[in-house]
Each structure stands twice: as structure tokens, then as C-alpha cells.
Chain A
Amino acid sequence: MDILSIIWIIVMPFIGSLVGLTYMGIGRKIIARVQHRYGPPIFQNVVDVIKLYSKRSAITHGVMFHLAPNIAITGTISTLMFVPVLVGENAISLFSFQGDLILILYIMVFGCLAMALGAGQSGNPNSAIGVSRGLTQMFGYEIPFVIALVTLMVQNETTSVQNIIAAQDSFMHWNIFQSPFAFVAAMFAFLGMMGNKPFDVPFAPAEIASGPPSEFGGKYLALMQTNRGMFAFVKLVLYVDLFLGGATNFAILLVKTFAFYLIPLFVGIVNPRFRTEQAMTFFWKWPTAIGLAGFLLVLL
């Protein structure tokens, strides 16, 4: 392992969280413009995180509460390590040759579980309600997500993300064109995964006081927000790798990931909120049907 890849391994989590947080800031700006507002500066989320890190006091409810943000960010960084960020000449593949898509799917949940445990130990019933809703919704969107991923894996006869990217060598070979049904199903799942408006019932601020993180403040919340930004970045990069053939340099990566980021954002701006079981069963109707249509296409 050469020195450059070690540097990338160390730097990538920081870049990831910065990019993710900036995207969120841009998202806030766009929402503001849609609502005829001026909106906050695009680095607002970064400022928020710095402020949270600079808080002087913090309270803890116990061991899991204290460890939860740590483990969550560990899970996210570990996930990032197995996602190829750039491919081609200037490849940043991190550890992605030593793990495949199934690993990514499972290690992604690691951080979420830790967060759920921390929220559980906070003792706030709102947090537990939020976790219950979040898990229920997760079970909803995992179905179309898994359908899409299995379609991709079977179609490309590989479970390795690197190989899936390698198969999308030209524009028309991108999986978005090769398996459009899988893409649509995965995009629906993405809406649920990002937790934007129609699917934000786990975090409903006015209803259950922002749900799982409602007891977290100060440094804990800062770590969680960093994690949130990085996790968004990881998901975006994974989607770009799977459907848009990866990226060969940072400019292309930013363009592609931002394009993906806009989709749940725009859907979110114009939609109200689903109830929990509506959110869950929604994913089992059209998204699953579209995904299964993609299946039949593969089988034939």
C-alpha cells in the first residue's frame, strides 16, 4: 500500500462529511428559494457543526448514549472504506477490493443500530418512538432497494462494486440505461433512505421532538451531524458507483452525486409527510412492482 492511498484513507472521511454537509446546506438554500426566501448561506450546516463542537457542556445518560455517536461514525467510516470513490487512472479505491456489495449493505446498518441504541438509552420515549418508526420505514424501503441491488448483481454476475463499475465502461452501458427498472426502484428506496420530506416521520420535529436525537446535544450532536453528512455522501457515492458508472475525477463525482442529491430534495419540497405504515406499505406497491418488472426482464 503506497503512501498516497494511505493519505486518501485518512482524508476521505473529512472530505466526505464536508461534501455531505455542504450538500445539505445547498439543499436548505434551494428549499428557501422555492419558498420565496433568501435562505441561509450554503455552508450553514458546516457552521452549525462547528458550533456544536464548540459547546462547553454535555450531558450523558449512560454508556451506550456516550458510545452511540462514536460507533455510528465508526460504522459510516468503515462503510466509506469499502466504497470505491474514484475509478480509472486516479482511482481512490480505499479497501474496496477487500469487500463487496453485500458487506456494504450490512455494514451500513452498523452505525444506524448504534444510533438506535444510544437513542434508546436516552430514556426519552420520543426517541424510542422515532426508532420504532425509523426501523419500520427501513423495512419498507429495503425491499425495493434489495430488489434493485440483486437485479444488478445477477445481471452483472458479480457482487463486487468494482466489477459493477467496470462493466459500465461507456455512457450507454450505465446501469441507469441497462436496467432502468432497477434504477427506478432503487431511486424510490433512496427517497426513504435520505429521510427527506415524504419519509421523515422518524424525525418529525414538531411531533416527536426530532425523534432519536432528541436527547443528544453539544459534542454528541456534533458527531452525529458529521456522521449524517458523511453517511449522505457514502450513499450518494454508492449510488453513483452502481448506476452512473462511478467517476474518474472529483469534478465528475461532485456533479453526479449532486444530481442524485437533488432528486429526494425536489420530491421533498412539494410533498407532505407519510404516516409510518403508509410509508412502509408505499414501498411495497409501485416501487416493488417496478423492481419485479425489472426482475422478469433479467430472467427473460
Chain B
Amino acid sequence: METIPFILSILFGAAVLAYLVGKFNYILKVGVSIVGLIWAGWLFLGLQGTLSSFTFKMLGFDIIWRINPLSWLFGMIIFGLAILTAIFSGSYMKGKERVDFYCFAMCITVASMFGIVVSGDLLSFFFFWEIMTWSSFLMVIYYRYEAQAAGLRYFVMSMIGAYAMLTALLIVYAQLGSFLFDVLSAGWSGFSLTLQIWLFVLFVIGFAVKAAMMPLHTWAPDAYTISPAPFTALFSGALSKMGIYGLALLFFVFGAGKLASSVITIQGVSLPGYILAWFGAITALLATFKAIVQDDAKKLLAYSSIGQLGYIILGFSLSSSMGVTAGLYQAVNHSIFKGMLFLAVGAVFYRTGTRKLSEMGGLITRMPYTFFVVLLGIITVAGMPPLSGFTGKWLIYEALIEKHLIFLAVVAFGASTAAFLYLYRIIFTIFLGQRPKRFDEVKEVPWMMRAPMLILALLTVYLGFYPYQLLDLINQAQVYMGIAPFDLSHSMLFNSYGNVSTITVMNIVAVVFFIVFILFNTLYKRSRKVGLKDIHTSGEVPGEEINLHYAVDFYQPFARGVSIFLKRSVSKIYASLADNLEGLFDVMRYVYTGNGQTYALFVVIALAFLFLVKDFLV
């Protein structure tokens, strides 16, 4: 049997089987989904470097499922993260209700995402896209009533994206008579400029909703917050990447990149790309501001995720070799670190039962592994060497500076610096400082939850030391996309502007730390460990019941300083729009009188109207 349909059938089969056997045994249903995912992932791994494809006809349309370096890269993100989150949820979901339903939706989501990346035509692409929206919607509303509002918002925003995409899809079919990517890619340049811009905008809306680009991001914070933690990791790490994959397709496979030659270019970037780059940069900055003032750990990470995706969009929209490398690298890297952080926050929630940053504190001694994971995670998000985040940051800045896009570079730099604020907050308020008395008995999470986090954490260390294997895979994808590959011949990050040897950086940091650590710890006696309440409080003895943890309004001065940005919210604009539309619909409601004769009159009027204008329509 062909591999691609086989993988799809494994995934769908695992979903159904997990649901069916889930009625009987907990281990069985989780086991079925994990085994199914690992089997599918293993088969998928074997597809690397091959260009296998599978063609069939459905309802008279040609359908192609194929694999190529680009889709392999994104498929690897999906499977890697899906397997780890499935293992994590094996322990996390224990004792929760409707786990069979959870496993079902999880497998379906993975299957549909896999379907998206292997689709070679718009029809199956859209088909899988909708399955993905539906199945992830089921996950968002897992906690039924409290998730209603978030679920509805996610659904409505997804619908907007889906309709935009559907319109674009139908326009393409009307013009070319085929849904195939290859036909579209050949025929794109034949479209008129107006049509190209329309298609571009419609597709961007469709993809940007999933990639949570501002101002289409309003669903993301709530949906990320409310969905079960392991799924949030998949949601942010892999599902939102489908929007990025869509943008990659749009720019380099559909041929929207060719738009560049026909319209104005600004410093070597096409105008649509330039505008999209600004959207990405503004998303990165404003989402970061929003993240800084959140009190809910997952919401904070959700805004952070939106901001990081802004970086990826920024990279892609430059359409240069460096920019695309940066976008793809950051896409992979974002899956790793955001998966890690969401899982870690989920682990903390699993043990403490709260997501409120202001209620936690001092968990480092209770949950050291989780702390370690979060520590590596925040270093990666911040883009600090020697971990893997730095390579992504370096690529993006080089891409921007290479194109002399100074304003964009400053906004991107600013967003990255602002990220330190919320990153410090999340690690400090959860793990450091004073521990509230009720968390004294908190234990570390089981190994089944620790292992996935630690694997991701070690991956960031490895990529920080040696990102060139991943860059090589990205280069293959870039060759497929028709973009000059990134220069890897120097075995360091190298371009005409500058170079960084990640191996040297890692070695220096490791050796210096080793020497300092050894000297510091051998020259002195062990220090005396004192309790957390033994601190300088002007001589006063803080009682047991007094909480000295500084976690509420952590960045109050910052919030005062940037209140002008925080006051306005896209959600509010949408809400006022909805209010106004409600008035309009209230008026329109009078059309429906409930009287059969009036309706008959409407029908006659409409027919007469159509008859009158029929010559103009065709």
C-alpha cells in the first residue's frame, strides 16, 4: 500500500479505535493513540528525501497527496510534538473525564495536520484544513461550559479564515479549472494584478487566522488558555504552524512571490511582503506587551506564542534566502520551546491546580525538573546564546539588516528585549521566591510527564550547539521552494555581513562556567543553607502566615509606562462592531414578518429583478 494513505489510515484508525476501546480501559485508549502516532511517525520518518506521491480522482477532481522537503519539515514538527504530547497526556489526563473523546480528537487533529502538509491540491488542503479546525474546536471546548466563549470565538474566527480561503479557492478554480498546486503555480502569473492582490489578501486572511496574526489573533489567548495543557502545546507548537505552512505555500509554491516583480518594491521587498512584514513585527511587539501584564501563565504564553509567530511571518514575508531560513528555523524552534513551556506550565497546573502566577511561588525545590525545563525554555525564547533560540534571532536580524530594513529591525529587537520581561516573570513567580504554605507538599510530576519535557529541553541544547543539521533540512526545503539555500559550507552561521560560530560559543560558555564553578566551590567551604524566611526584613521576623512573594502587579511601572498600547484592544473593536451590526440586523429582522403572502411577494420581486438584470450577469 502507498505510504501516505497508509499513514493517514493509521491515524484515523487510531482515533476511532481509541474512542471505541476507550469505553473499557484507560491504558488501552491512551496506548492505542500513542502507538498509532509512533507508528505513523516512524513510517513518516522513512519518507525523508523521497518524493513519493499518491494520485486519485474524487468526485471528478484530481487529488494529489505528495511529500516534499517542505512538507516533510512541517510533518516532522507535527509528529515530534504529537508523540511527545500524547505521552505527556497519558499521565496528565489520568482520572479526567472523557479521555476517549480527548484521544479521538487528538488523533484526528494530528491526522488532519498531516493531511494538510501532504496535500498537493487545494481541495484536499481545504478539506483537511476544515477537519483540523473542527477537531481542534472539540479540544478547545473540552472543559464544556467555562470554555464556551473561547470556543465560540475560535470557531467564528476560523470560519472567517475558512470563508476567505474558500473564496480564493473558488476563484482559482473558476480561472484555471483545476485545484492542483502545480497548475496554480504555473497559472498565477497569468492572473491580472487586481486578481493576484485579491487572492493574496484572501489567502493571507485564511492562513493568518491560524497563525494568530494581529488583528486576527483574538481567538488565540482564550483558546490556548482553556484547552487541556498537552493539547495547548500541540496547538501552539504544531497547529498554528499550519498557518505558517500555508504562508510558505502561498509565497513560494502558489507563486505569490512573483507578485514582487509586478508591483512596487521597498528595499528589495515586494509591497505586499513589506506590509505583511510590518503586520508580523507589530504583532510581535504588541503581543509581547500584552503578555507582560497577564496574570494567567497559559495566557501569558499564548500571547508570547502570538508574538513569536509574528517573527516567523516577518521572516517569511521578506522572501529572501535569509528571511525564509529564519522563518523556517524559527518555526521548528518555536515548536520545541513553546511545546516545552506549555507542557511545563501544564505540569505545574497538574500539581498545584492553579494557573495564576500571583498564587504560586518557590516551587523550584519541589519541582526541580520542571524548573530546569522552564529555565532552558525561557533562555531559548529570549534568544540567548548558547541555546537554539539565538540562531533564529540571528538569522532574522541578519535578514533584516541585509535588506537595510532598519525600522523593522528595531521593532523586532524591541519585541525581543521586551520578551525578557515576561520570561523572567513566568520563571520567577512560579518557581522562585517565597513558597506559599499550601504548596509545601507539592511533588514533582511523574516520569511520563517529565520525559517529553526533558527531551525537548535537550533538543534545544543540541540545536544551540549544532544547528547545522536542521539548517541542512531547511536548505532542502528552500531548494524545493526555489530559494537560494543558506550557506553552510563554513560550519558556522555565516553570511556576507557577519558570522557566529555556535560551537565556539557553546564551548566558551561551558569551559568558563566549568572553571569558575570548580574554583568557586573548591576555594570555599560549603555555604550554610538558610530558610526562605531568613531574609533581610529590617530585623523583623516574618511570620509563617505572611506571604512575602512579590508577584501581584509585577510590572506595574511598565504597565503605567505603556498604558497607551494596552488600553486599546482588538477584541474591543470587534465587540463594538458586533454591537453595531446587531442594531443593523435588528432592523433587517422586520423583513421576516411571518406572513406567507409577504414572502411570496419577496420571491416574485426577486425573480423579476433577476429577470431584469440577467443580461448584465452573464
Contact = CB atoms under 8 A, between A and B. Distances in A.
Question: Is any CB of A less than 8 Å from a CB of B in the complex?
Answer: yes
Interface of A: 57-64, 66-67, 69-71, 73-75, 77-78, 81, 95, 98-103, 106-107, 109-110, 113, 116-117, 120-126, 128-129, 131-133, 135-136, 138-140, 142-143, 146-147, 150-151, 153-154, 157-160, 163, 209, 214-215, 218-220, 223, 275-277, 280-281, 295, 298-299
Nearest to B413: A146
Contacts of A59: 527-530, 534
Nearest to A164: B498
A150 B379 contact: no
A108 B500 CA distance: 15
Interface string B421-447: 100100110001110000000000000
Contact of A107 (B385, B421, B533): B385
B385 A106 contact: yes
Given A102-B393, A129-B550, A132-B554, A154 B513 contact: no
Interface residues of B, number: 68
Contact of A113 (B379, B393, B500, B549): B379
7 contacts: A64-B432, A70-B516, A81-B508, A99-B499, A103-B500, A138-B417, A146-B417
Given A143-B410, A153-B497, A280-B561, A159 B428 contact: no
A71 B520 CA distance: 11
Contact of B497 (A121, A158, A214): A158
Contacts of A129: 550
B550 A100 contact: no
A124 B524 contact: no
B555 interface: yes
Contact of A57 (B417, B517, B528): B528
B479 to A, nearest CB: 26
Given A59-B527, A109-B384, A117 B427 contact: yes
B398 A159 contact: yes
A124 B535 contact: yes
Contacts of B550: 125, 128-129, 132
Interface in B334-369: 362, 364-365, 368
A67 B379 CA distance: 16
Contact of A136 (B390, B537, B555): B555
Given A66-B527, A139-B418, 11 more contacts: A73-B516, A74-B512, A95-B508, A123-B362, A125-B550, A126-B536, A133-B557, A219-B524, A276-B557, A276-B558, A277-B558
B428 A128 contact: yes
Nearest to B421: A135
Given A60-B528, A132-B555, A215 B401 contact: no
Given A64-B364, A70-B520, A74-B512, A138 B420 contact: yes
B47 interface: no
A223 B393 CA distance: 30
A197 B535 CA distance: 27
A103 B390 contact: yes
Contacts of B492: 98
A146 B414 contact: yes
A276 B554 CA distance: 13
Interface string B501-545: 100110011001100110010001001111011111100000000
A33 B492 CA distance: 51
B516 A103 contact: no
B406 A151 contact: yes
Contacts of B524: 58, 219
A95 B409 CA distance: 26
B433 A100 contact: no
A193 to B, nearest CB: 13
Nearest to B519: A70
A113 B550 CA distance: 18
Contact of B535 (A67, A122, A151, A299): A122
Given A60-B530, A74-B513, A128-B433, A150 B413 contact: yes
A298 B492 CA distance: 30
B489 to A, nearest CB: 16
B382 interface: yes
A100 B432 contact: no
